[in-house]
Chains A and B, each alone.
Chain A
Amino acid sequence: AQTVTQSQPEMSVQEAETVTLSCTYDTSENNYYLFWYKQPPSRQMILVIRQEAYKQQNATENRFSVNFQKAAKSFSLKISDSQLGDTAMYFCAFIGAGSYQLTFGKGTKLSVIP
């Protein structure tokens, strides 16, 4: 069974600063995908960024980037130039090859302070 651990229940960051959210996971699989989902107070869960395990290059999406360390089973999210709209719950998630089961971490509540 897979597990996903987010060790930071809450974080805050000043507007325009950079923040890093941590995530570790445990799996015996070799083929899998990792995701960061964002859930603002309005509830809609949206995908922020995805990483394929077979790709060594870290994924980036505008101000969002990941540091994927496969051997360490670590998948952190860096948010640059934080904006007030980044205030949300952030969930790290894992899915194994051939599976429908998206395993979520417990989430990190990020607050961006003006």
Chain B
Amino acid sequence: DTEVTQTPKHLVMGMTNKKSLKCEQHMGHRAMYWYKQKAKKPPELMFVYSYEKLSINESVPSRFSPECPNSSLLNLHLHALQPEDSALYLCASSQEEGFAAHLDEQFFGPGTRLTVL
């Protein structure tokens, strides 16, 4: 299985809603990532988890709350979002064993298209 899956594919939410995005991989990867991608722009890194611990938080507002319940699963909890948070949210994973392993390919999921009304 060389796949990263993300659910839901599309999500529409109001500014007062609470929702969650889910990402799953079964490749044994120990590094997992959340990216935000606006239309016609490159992905922007939000968070990195390494061995289920938060390694990097790129100064993301607290209305985005990541969670890594186990090595295969990564969630992004959303609360009180703004319309400007509407974007494609991509999850990715990569190996994390050995010195150079995390330089290996990042496998991306298909993304969740989020619209905040």
Interface residues of A (CB under 8 A from B): 33, 35, 37, 42-47, 50, 89, 91, 95, 97, 100-102, 104-107, 109
| Of B11-19, B59-67, B71-79, B103-111, the one with at least 4 CB within 8 A of chain A | B103-111
Residue B22 at the chain A interface, CB threshold 8 Å: no
Q: B23 to chain A: closest CB distance in Å? A: 13
- Taking the closest CB of chain A, its distance from the CB of B56, in whole angstroms, is 6
- Check if B105 sits within 8 Å of A50, measured CB to CB: yes
Are A45 and B105 CB-contacts (below 8 A) given A91-B42, A106-B41? no
Interface status of B81 (Cβ within 8 A of chain A): no
Residue-wise interface mask of B (64-100) relative to A, using a CB-CB cutoff of 8 A (1 in contact, 0 not): 0000000000000000000000001010100000001
- Residue B21 CB within 8 A of the other chain: no
A100-B42 contact given A44-B108, A47-B105, A95-B103, CB 8 Å threshold: no
- Residues in B with CB closer than 8 Å to A104 are 42-43
Residues of chain B at the chain A interface (Cβ within 8 Å): 31, 33, 40-43, 45, 48, 50, 55-56, 88, 90, 92, 100, 102-103, 105-111
A79 to B107, CA, bound (A): 22
Are A100 and B56 CB-contacts (below 8 A) given A43-B88, A105-B42?
yes
Assess whether B55 is in contact with A106, with CB atoms less than 8 Å apart. no
B-side contacts of A45, CB under 8 Å: 43, 90, 92, 108
In whole angstroms, what is the CA distance A109 to B31 when docked? 29
Q: Are A33 and B43 in contact (CB under 8 A)?
A: no
Q: A45-B90, A107-B40 are in contact. Are A100 and B110 (CB under 8 A)?
A: no
A47–B43 CA distance with the chains assembled, in angstroms: 14
Q: Besides A33-B103, A102-B106, A104-B42, 13 other CB < 8 A contacts?
A: A35-B105, A42-B110, A44-B108, A45-B92, A45-B108, A47-B105, A50-B105, A89-B40, A95-B103, A100-B31, A100-B48, A105-B42, A109-B40
Partner of A101, one of B40, B42, B45, B110: B45
- A-B residue pairs in contact (CB < 8 Å), sample of 10: A44-B108, A44-B111, A91-B42, A91-B43, A100-B45, A100-B50, A101-B45, A104-B42, A104-B43, A107-B40
Contact of B103 with A43 in the complex, beta carbons under 8 Å:
no
